[in-house]
Structure 1
Amino acid sequence: MANYIHVPDEAPAVPKIDVTVDESDCRAGALQLMRELRPSWKPSEVKIKFFTDGITNKLLGCYIGAVMQDVVLVRIYGNKTELLVDRENEVKSFRVLHAHRCAPRLYCTFNNGLCYEFLQGTALEPEHIRSQPVFRLIARQLGKYHAIHAHNGWIPQSDLWLKMGKYFTLISQYYKEPEQNDRLSMEVPSPQCLRKELVWLQQSLSLLGSPVVLCHNDLLCKNIIYNRREGSVKFIDYEYAGYNYQAFDIGNHFNEFAGLNEVDYKHYPDQDFQLLWLRSYLEAYKEHKGQGGPVTDREVEILYVQVNKFAFASHFFWGLWALIQAKFSTIDFDFLGYAVLRFNQYFKMKPEATELNLPELKNPTPSSSPLPPALSPIQAALPPHTMIAEGPLEVCVEKS
């Protein structure tokens, strides 16, 4: 979808610097970048701080002086992440969001990464994102994101199904380590099961009517920076940003209440909390869209159903993602175990999410929504030998 993200003419140009940073010895490459971006800095005075929270890339900050004021962040792409991330799309999203005052400035790209402005504030933890007033700030900021209009009134389309179809074709059925292969066969649903679930998701969720908007798509705690002094939040890391279903972005954020390193889905927000969050979100979304009138209970109820159906789809998305990372990533993280967690939670949430129904109209009219095509985007993205015939789908059971 990169070609469909329009960067405003007034957005600053982003130079490309011909430097490759060695992820095992970052300093030399980082100093080369600083010579271009901060030529007044003496190389001997440049300090480097390594950040350890990310599980996709490596991140470090360059600065001089006793305090971190003017900091240039250097992000080094993880091994084979180009299979998962559209880097052209990332840069365009970064520039669009900066033009709308929703993102820091992107200083440059380089051969295997990019450099951008450091935002002052605190990267949040799971306990912070449900607290007052932080959760309302997050809801309103996301509403602002989602209200960014497409170029010239173009009606965007989500590439969620094509992306998940691509991920499915990239998952490995074999790993180098025998222990990993044992876990894969014992704990991860079979490719046949995953394939059927993938098509069922597309057929079910595409008809919910969730608007397609410019989404962050990876709103975990550490990607939210809270500035207490200003009373504001900003989101960082736009690798997965792009046009997607509004409800996916929100449901994906709710899943992140469980944390990352010590995942506990008991922290998934309950209905009362969600209704408060969603009302704050809709107030900001309608305000930025220029849609008059107060938020109605029915609007909140509709969004609640959409969000909780897409929330369990986000488990499936990141489960596929983690299986790919388990094969290629050099970062010390149990990606295979993370995939097991996400797929288990997917099957645990599925019955309850499936039972949710959109509130009926008081004066119902015939639906104008088209039926799913004979060949869905998911099916079209899969190799010929993985095509699925139309008709009832088998129920897949999670592995314990």
Structure 2
Amino acid sequence: MANYIHVPESAPVVPKLDVTVDEHDYRIGALKLIKELRPHWKPSEVKMKCFTDGITNKLIGCCVGGVIQDMVLVRIYGNKTELFVDRENEVKSFQVLQAHRCAPRLYCTFNNGLCYEFLEGTALEPEHIRNPAIFRLIARQLAKYHAIHAHNGWVPQSNLWLKMGKFFSLVPSHFQDPEKNLRFNTEVPSTQCLRDELVWLQRNLSTLGSPIVLCHNDLLCKNIIYNEAEGHVKFIDYEYAGYNYQAFDIGNHFNEFAGVNEVDYSLYPGRSLQLQWLRAYLESYKEHKGLGREVSNTEVEVLFIQVNRFALASHFLWGLWALIQAQYSTIDFDFLGYAVLRFSQYFKMKPEVMALNFPE
């Protein structure tokens, strides 16, 4: 996918620094980066804070004198994440989104991570994204993303099925830890079952007619920064960004209403909230595409069905991802339990969303 994101020629060059930062003892490596990015800062005065929200990478905030507006964020890639994250694509997505004022500044990349600008605001929680004033901002910002042209005339294609196939091939066949292995064999669907579902998903979802757009693909609460004073939201973390089905990005976000650390799928948005969200989204999307702001009930209803069916693909993708993370990640998180939750919700939701009928 890396070659398909077209970075504008006007985009600033992103320097690559030959520095490796130890995720367990990060200060020395982080200071080498700060020396290049903020040469006027005294090393002894640099304070560092480790943010603990992420379950893919480690994030360190560096600042002097408590001035958070000038904070430099150092993100250290998680162990073996290069197996399933295209880092070149991530940087290109970052550059494209920055050019459209949708992303913070990317200062540099280094051997096992990248540094970028701190965005003022609040990283959201599940209760925030249910607030109509905030969810309309999120819907409109996502519509702005989806309207960005970053393909230089090429007809965009989704890499969802390729990515799922790659994730599937990386799923471990067993775990060394006996207790973990027992859970894996008794609680996770069999390899054959997962293979059959992957085939079923591609056959049933790729024919729904959802447009291929530039997607964030990982719009969980903590990746949404809300600036209340300025009345806007911005999205962060573009590791999984790329061309995909419009309905996947929205369905994936709706799944994230359930949270990550204490997952509760009763929080998945109901029909009424979804229809309000989708109408705000479509009005903004059509406006960005130069198609006016008029949105019919039929358009909203069609998107509603597409989104809820693609929410299945989101559960399946992150279920596979969690199994890979259970094998390789050094982050303290029950990835195996998370995989079980995602697959369970997939099978629970499947008959419900397949029973939805498109309007005549």
Please state how far the C-alpha of 1:152 moved relative to its aligned partner: 3.3
Within 5 A, what are the aligned runs for 1:275-354?
Answer: 275-354=275-354
Gaps of 5+ in 2: none
Question: How far apart are the structure 2 equivalents of 1:293 and 1:257?
Answer: 27
Q: Secondary structure at the match of 1:173?
A: coil
Q: Secondary structure at the match of 2:130?
A: coil
Q: CA RMSD in A?
A: 0.7
Please state how far the C-alpha of 1:358 moved relative to its aligned partner: 2.1
- Aligned AA (1:101): R
Q: Secondary structure at the match of 1:6?
A: coil
Counterpart in the other structure of 1:358: 358
Question: How far apart are the structure 1 equivalents of 2:256 and 2:197?
Answer: 22
Question: How far apart are the structure 2 equivalents of 1:152 and 1:64?
Answer: 41
Counterpart in the other structure of 1:150: 150
Please state how far the C-alpha of 1:146 moved relative to its aligned partner: 0.2
Could you give the per-residue CA deviations for residues 190-239 of structure 1, whole angstroms, max 9, x where no partner exists? Answer: 00000000000000000000000000000000000000000000000000
Question: How far apart are the structure 1 equivalents of 2:14 and 2:34?
Answer: 15
Question: How far apart are the structure 1 equivalents of 2:356 and 2:202?
Answer: 17
Counterpart in the other structure of 2:140: 140
Question: How far apart are the structure 2 equivalents of 1:132 and 1:251?
Answer: 18
Counterpart in the other structure of 1:392: none
User: Is residue 2:255 matched to residue 1:255?
Assistant: yes
CA contact under 8 A between 2:6 and 2:152: conserved in structure 1? no
Please state how far the C-alpha of 1:293 moved relative to its aligned partner: 4.8
Question: How far apart are the structure 2 equivalents of 1:4 and 1:69?
Answer: 34
CA contact under 8 A between 2:218 and 2:252: conserved in structure 1? yes
Counterpart in the other structure of 2:117: 117
Within 5 A, what are the aligned runs for 1:80-99?
Answer: 80-99=80-99
Question: How far apart are the structure 2 equivalents of 1:161 and 1:212?
Answer: 13
Q: Secondary structure at the match of 1:69?
A: helix
Could you give the per-residue CA deviations for residues 157-203 of structure 1, whole angstroms, max 9, x where no partner exists? Answer: 00000000011011011111000110011100000000000000000
Question: How far apart are the structure 2 equivalents of 1:218 and 1:296?
Answer: 28
Task: Return the index of the structure with the highest Cα Rg.
Answer: 1
Counterpart in the other structure of 2:107: 107
CA contact under 8 A between 1:150 and 1:156: conserved in structure 2? no
Question: How far apart are the structure 2 equivalents of 1:287 and 1:293?
Answer: 5
Question: How far apart are the structure 2 equivalents of 1:58 and 1:227?
Answer: 23
Question: How far apart are the structure 1 equivalents of 2:322 and 2:96?
Answer: 28
Question: How far apart are the structure 1 equivalents of 2:358 and 2:242?
Answer: 26
CA contact under 8 A between 1:226 and 1:234: conserved in structure 2? yes
CA contact under 8 A between 2:104 and 2:119: conserved in structure 1? yes
Normalised by the length of structure 1, the TM-score is 0.89
- Aligned AA (1:318): W
Counterpart in the other structure of 2:173: 173
Could you give the per-residue CA deviations for residues 18-76 of structure 1, whole angstroms, max 9, x where no partner exists? Answer: 00001110000000000000000000010101100000000001110133120100000
Question: How far apart are the structure 1 equivalents of 2:42 and 2:163?
Answer: 44
User: Is residue 2:242 matched to residue 1:246?
Assistant: no
Counterpart in the other structure of 1:229: 229
Q: Secondary structure at the match of 1:61?
A: strand
Within 5 A, what are the aligned runs for 1:31-46?
Answer: 31-46=31-46
CA contact under 8 A between 1:72 and 1:118: conserved in structure 2? yes
CA contact under 8 A between 2:224 and 2:235: conserved in structure 1? yes
Q: Secondary structure at the match of 1:152?
A: coil
- Aligned AA (1:328): Y
Within 5 A, what are the aligned runs for 1:152-231?
Answer: 152-231=152-231
- Aligned AA (1:61): G
Counterpart in the other structure of 1:131: 131
CA contact under 8 A between 1:137 and 1:233: conserved in structure 2? yes
Q: Secondary structure at the match of 1:151?
A: coil
- Aligned AA (1:249): D
CA contact under 8 A between 2:258 and 2:268: conserved in structure 1? yes
- Structure 1, 205-214 or 292-301: larger mean CA deviation: 292-301
Please state how far the C-alpha of 1:154 moved relative to its aligned partner: 2.0
Could you give the per-residue CA deviations for residues 1-34 of structure 1, whole angstroms, max 9, x where no partner exists? Answer: 1101000011111000000001110000000000
Counterpart in the other structure of 2:63: 63
Question: How far apart are the structure 2 equivalents of 1:294 and 1:174?
Answer: 53
Q: Secondary structure at the match of 1:129?
A: helix
CA contact under 8 A between 1:248 and 1:311: conserved in structure 2? yes
Q: Give the paired residue count.
A: 360
CA contact under 8 A between 2:159 and 2:244: conserved in structure 1? yes
Q: Secondary structure at the match of 1:348?
A: helix
Question: How far apart are the structure 1 equivalents of 2:290 and 2:12?
Answer: 27
Gaps of 5+ in 1: 361-400
